[in-house]
Chain A
């Protein structure tokens, strides 16, 4: 039987899962692009990003271009956790179909 405690609860929240998915798709995303893609409020997005940053899944880069720009990227640890999370989701689905 599958141990559901293996599921990473930090990622297993829709908003944070969305952020991790987008960050996994490309090298880095700006705050504005993430906000537009996920249609999250500033408060929600900032909170989720802080949570992911605190556990070491997301790296933050602040640049001064034409205007200040904050970019986010997955860390090696974040990518590993995300890959593991997807594998566990697949396992859950396979197990559900087998029942």
Chain B
């Protein structure tokens, strides 16, 4: 091989390795497990207990879950960064935050203006879009789950639009709530069960990963 070709080959190797080294997994297996268990636990709270202040009982519950999960994720990322001697806010983390910010803002706005009955599919769609926004520098499993959340959110949204009797749980508390069709059950099915599946898969894949699990830069 002549030196020119060899140089090209070596630069390709460098590029590939650099790309692999900057994979950023914004959600680690432990964070997903915490999110999954919390979502299942909170999803089991009967809806009639959350019908307070125009649906804000439901919103406050899930916003609290979000804050707890984000705090746990930040703690895990910081712990791993300290262990590696890296800064907590790495360039990859900044890139991930910028990528997900628009979707988070839309979700927050939706939380303020929309009724609880349509919030779970909206949150699933925003979450799916946010995960997909990081796919260029995230492990493939993140993109896969982005698509799953997107499709699951669309299915739930369409089902609600087509007159899901469970979606009216907040507005008509005496209406029949079908399993996985009421807002609380939709939260269990998506943010609960899907996160637990992700946690298991991320742990499995983690065994063959190239670097640390969360906040890897």
How many residues of chain B are within 8 Å of chain A by beta carbon? 22
Are the CB atoms of B86 and A26 closer together than 8 Å?
Answer: yes
| Contact partners of A21 in chain B: CB under 8 A | 13-14, 17-18, 21
B interface, by DSSP: helix, strand, loop or mixed? helix
Are the CB atoms of B210 and A33 closer together than 8 Å?
Answer: yes
**CB of A18 to closest CB in B, whole Å:** 6
Are the CB atoms of A18 and B7 closer together than 8 Å?
Answer: no
Contact of B13 among A4, A17, A36, A37 (CB under 8 A): A17
Are the CB atoms of A96 and B21 closer together than 8 Å?
Answer: no
For chain A, give the interface size range.
20 to 34
Docked Cα-Cα span, A22 to B14, in Å, equals: 9
Residues of A within 8 A of B (CB): 4, 12, 14, 17-18, 21-22, 25-29, 33, 36-38, 86, 89-90, 92-93, 95-96
Apart from A22-B21, A96-B8: 19 A-B pairs, beta carbons within 8 A:
A12-B10, A17-B10, A17-B13, A17-B14, A18-B17, A21-B17, A21-B18, A26-B21, A27-B85, A33-B212, A36-B209, A36-B210, A37-B20, A37-B21, A86-B11, A89-B7, A93-B4, A93-B7, A96-B7
23 contacts between A and B (CB under 8 A): A4-B3, A12-B10, A21-B14, A21-B17, A22-B17, A25-B17, A25-B21, A26-B21, A26-B84, A26-B217, A27-B85, A27-B86, A28-B84, A33-B210, A36-B209, A36-B210, A37-B20, A86-B11, A89-B11, A90-B11, A92-B4, A93-B8, A96-B8
